[in-house]
Amino acid sequence: MAAIAAMKALIVKDSKFLALELEIGRKKLWDLQGGKVEEAEEPMQTLLREVQEETSLMPKVEKPVGVYWFHRKTDGLLTVCTVFKCSLEENAKVV
């Protein structure tokens, strides 16, 4: 069975967490920052790259906090997401 590995960031700042609002079709959903591990890419590189692409922020990775999985509706592939708690520099601006 083929599977996709993905990395997600739970970014916490001032006792709040950062989430992305996505629009898929006509639905609005919330998700954590992150994405799939590309070929020849280390998982931590994926996490930092995806967060920077999606938010322009560079998080500090602290620790793993969980794993979840699902089958993609588009093709049925199993996607396994590892979630890491991350923090931001004190002066990081989050709008």
The mean per-residue pLDDT over the stretch 55-83 comes to: 94
* pTM, two decimal places: 0.87
Query: Letter for the amino acid at 73?
Result: K
What does the pLDDT look like over 26-65, one tens digit per residue? 999 999 999 999 999 999 999 999 999 999 999 999 999 9
The CA distance from 37 to 33, in Å, is 13
Tell me what the pLDDT averaged over the chain comes to: 92
Task: Return the SS3 of 51.
Answer: helix
Helix (H) or strand (E) holding 49: helix 43-55
Tell me what pLDDT residue 90 has: 75
- Identify residue 11 by its one-letter amino acid code: I
Question: In this structure, which long-range contacts are made by residues 67-76, counting pairs with CB atoms below 8 Å and at least 24 apart in sequence?
Answer: 72/4
Over residues 1-21, the mean pLDDT reads: 92
Q: What is the mean pLDDT of residues 61-88?
A: 95
CA–CA gap between residue 88 and residue 86 (Å, rounded)? 7
Q: Does the pLDDT of residue 91 top 80, yes or no?
A: no
